Amino acid sequence: MIAATLILAALLLMQLIQLPAFLVREDVPMVFEITLLRHTNEHGVLNYDSYLVVKNTGDRAYDNRKLYAKTYRNGKLLPCFIPTINGHDFIPTNHFGIQNLGGYGTNNYRWYPQSTIFIDYSDKTFHPGDVVQFEVYDRDTNQIISRDTWPHTTDSTKKWMDLLF
């Protein structure tokens, strides 16, 4: 009888005590996939160009004016904040680490499925061997809607990378 009471009390306690939010990991989908990270110029010469290409692999179009992005290198947030994915509204500046933003996904107001964008970060932002994470957020809700990590790995390794970074 005492054992049953203790078990019920323990179950009730576990229901009442929620895990802290930082221990509960939400899986973030990969809607926008990094397809290329280039360290060379157009002629194949290593110059640490830091040129990233991202593709909408989802099944819906997104209003690119309502998207913003954050970039991480080796787990550390870079100061090159991308306040909009819209190419007309984006103002490139080397002070913030982005030289240029373009591609079909930045045109007009929609980032359509299967279309890509490119982000030309300041030279030497990334080096071969760096782990780059690209996150896209919804401006209206400030919720993350996509996360991808480069280089791509197997599913089990990707899960570990997501946990670490």
pLDDT in tens, 20-56: 444 444 689 999 999 999 999 889 999 999 999 999 9
pLDDT of residue 160: 56
Q: Where are the domains of the chain?
A: 28-157
Topology (CATH level 3) of domain 28-157? Immunoglobulin-like (2.60.40)
pLDDT of residue 129: 95
pLDDT of residue 13: 58
Q: How far apart are CA 66 and CA 83, in angstroms?
A: 9
Cα separations in angstroms, 79 against 48, 98, 164: 18, 10, 20
Extract the tokens encoding 165: 């970074």
Q: How far apart are CA 119 and CA 113, in angstroms?
A: 18
Question: Average pLDDT in the 147-156 region?
Answer: 83
**Picking from 27-41, 106-120, 121-135, 144-158, which range would have the lowest pLDDT averaged per residue?**
144-158
